Amino acid sequence: MHYQTEAWGSYMTTRSSTMGDPLERIERLASENAVVIFSMSTCCMCHAIKRLFCGMGVNPTVYELDEDPRGKDMEKALMRLLGSSSAVPVVFIGGKLVGAMDRVMASHINGTLVPLLKDAGALWL
Amino acid sequence: MSFTSTQLVTSRRMGIYDPFQQISMWEDTFKGDSSPNKGVSTILQVDARLDNKSEFISHESGGPSSTDQEENKPTDKVQRRLAQNREAARKSRLRKKAYVQQLETSRLKLAQLEQELQRARKQGVYTGSALDTSHVGFSGNVNSGIATFEMEYAHWVEEQQKQTFELRSALQAHVSEIELNILVELGLNHYHNLFRMKADAAKADVFYLLSGVWRTSTERFFLWIGGFRPSELLNVLLPQLEPLTDQQVLRVCNLRQSSQQAEDALSQGMEKLQQSLSQGIGAQSVNAGNYGSQMAAAMDKLEALEGFVIQADHLRQQTLQQTSRILTTHQVARGLLALGEYFHRLRALSSLWAARPREPA
C-alpha cells in the first residue's frame, strides 16, 4: 500500500489552476493504478477496506482526501458519484468504479472480486 | 371488520385466538359481503343471509313436492332429507354463534392489550416478556424504535421456530422440489427481514444492538458486531451438507476464505475505532475549553458504529445468499434447518444454564 502524498506537490506546481474538475481528477487518478482507494485518515471503515485488500495480498494506491488541498472538492464529487452521504471509502479497480465497502464485500463474497483484481494485474495466482 | 383468514392467522400468532376449524366455511359466506360497516352490522347482515340460506335449503328440498300437485303427500325420503337439513342448519347456526362470541371476546382482549402496550411504551418499559428468563427488560430513556424492535424480534424468533419445524416435516416427508423451494425462499427472506429490522434498530440505538442484550446469554457469548459471525454460520451449515460435488467444495472453500477475510477486515476497522476513540477521550486537556471539542470529536467517531453494524449484517446476508447459490435446493433446506436448530439449542442452553441448581452461598 502506498500513499500518494508526495505526488500532490508535483500536481500543484506543474498543472494550471484551470484544470480543476474534481471528477476528472478522480477518474485520472483511478486509471493510473490497478487498485485505487480514496480514503480519509480518520475513517475507520477506510481502514477496514485497506486491511481487506492487504489481507488478500493486494497493494492498493491510497489517496487520503483529508490530507489533500483539493480534497474537499473531490469528496463532494465522490458523494455525487456514489449518490451517498459518505464519500469514502471508495474503490476503483482497473480504472473502473467498484464502489464503497458494501459493494466491495459483496463482490468478494460472490467471487467476482478476485477475477477483477487478476484482470487489473493486482493479483497473481 | 373483515373476516379474512390472513388477519386471523396473524392474530393466532399473537396467541389470542384459538384455531378455528370453521374458518374456510365462514370465509365462503362472508366473501360476498363488501360493505364497509363495522362488526355488528356485518354480523347481522350475514346472519340474515345464513338464515335465508338454511331456509332456502329446506325449501328447495321441499320444492318438488310442494309444486307438484299430483304427489301431495311428501315421501319418507323427502321427509328424512328435510329433517337432516333442519338439523344441519340448526348446528350451523349454533357454530356460528359460538364463533362470533369467540371473535368478540378476542377483539376485546386485543383492545385491552393494545392499551396496555401504549401505556407501557409511554413509561419506557420494554416488553421483553416474550424472551427467555435470562433476559432483563430494562427501563430507561423512552426509545420506541427499540421497543418496536424487541417486539418484532420476539415474533421473528417464534416464526423462525415455526419455519424450522416446517422444514423438518417437509424434508422428512420428501416433498417436491417446488414445495421445498418455497420454504427455502421463506427462510432466506426471514433472515433478510431480520437484517432490515436490525438496520432500523441501529439507527435508534446502536449500542443496544452491539451489547447483545436483545439475545440470550449464550448467543451473546458468540456475539460479533451485533450478531453471529459469518464464519460461525458456515461452520454450522456446511458439515450438514455432505456430500458436496467437487465444484461445490471449491466454491465453499472460496466462500469460507472470502467471508473470513471480510470478517477480519471489519474486526480490524472496529479495533481502529476503539483505539481512536480511546485516544481521543484519554488525551489530557489542560483547559476546560478542550473538553467540548474532545467530546464533539468522540461523538463523530461514534457515528461510525452504525456503519459497522450495517456492514456486518450485510456480510451475514451476502454469506447466506452465496451459500444458497452454491447449494442445491435440498441442501439449502437442510442448511436452514441446521441453522434454525442450532440457534434454538443455543437459546435452550441459555435457559438451562439460568435455571441450573446452584450451591447455596
Contact B236, B338 (CB under 8 A): yes
Q: Which of A44, A110, A111 sits opposite B272 (nearest CB)?
A: A44
**A chain contacts of residue B251, beta-carbon cutoff 8 Å:** 111
pLDDT reading at B175 higher than 50: yes
Nearest Cα to Cα of residue B74 among B65, B85, B86: B65
Q: Give residue B155's pLDDT band: very low, low, confident or very high (50, 70, 90).
A: very high
User: Would you call B261 and A48 a contact, using CB atoms and an 8 Å cutoff?
Assistant: no
Q: List chain A residues with CB under 8 Å of B309.
A: none
CB of A125 less than 8 A from some CB of B: no
Can you tell me whether residue B135 is helix, strand or coil? coil
Q: Is the pTM of this model over 0.80?
A: no
Closest residue in chain B to residue A45, using alpha carbons only: B269
**Per-residue confidence at B142, pLDDT binned at 50, 70, 90?**
low
B8 pLDDT band, cuts 50/70/90, is very low
Rounded to 10°, the helix B288-326/A101-109 angle is 30
pLDDT band at B99 (very low <50, low <70, confident <90, very high): confident
- The pLDDT tens digits along chain A (125 residues) read 777 654 444 444 444 444 578 899 999 999 999 999 999 999 999 999 999 999 999 999 999 999 999 999 999 999 999 998 899 999 999 999 999 999 999 999 999 999 999 999 999 86
Residue B22 has a pLDDT of: 47
At residue B189 the predicted structure's pLDDT band, cuts being 50, 70 and 90, is very high
State the angle between helix axes of B230-237 and B288-326 in degrees (0 to 180), rounded to the nearest 10.
20
From the list A51, A108, A110, which residue is nearest B268 (CB)?
A: A51
Interface of A with B in 31-90 (CB under 8 A): 42-45, 47-49, 51-52, 55-56, 86
Identify from A85, A108, A118 which residue to disrupt to test chain B contact, counting B C-beta atoms within 10 A and taking the largest count. A108
- How large is the average pLDDT for residues B181-198? 96
Spatial CB neighbours of B70, under 8 Å, sequence gap ≥ 6: none
- C-alpha grid cell, residue B162: 415455526
Looking at residue B125, its pLDDT comes to 52
B269: nearest CB among A42, A45, A110: A45
Phi, psi angles (nearest 5°) of residue A91 = -115, 135
pLDDT-derived band at B240 (thresholds 50, 70, 90) equals confident
Give CA–CA dist B159/B156, Å, rounded: 5
Residue of B265, B276, B318 with shortest CB distance to A109: B318
- The three-class DSSP label of residue B331 is helix
pLDDT tens, residue by residue, B48-62: 444 444 444 444 444
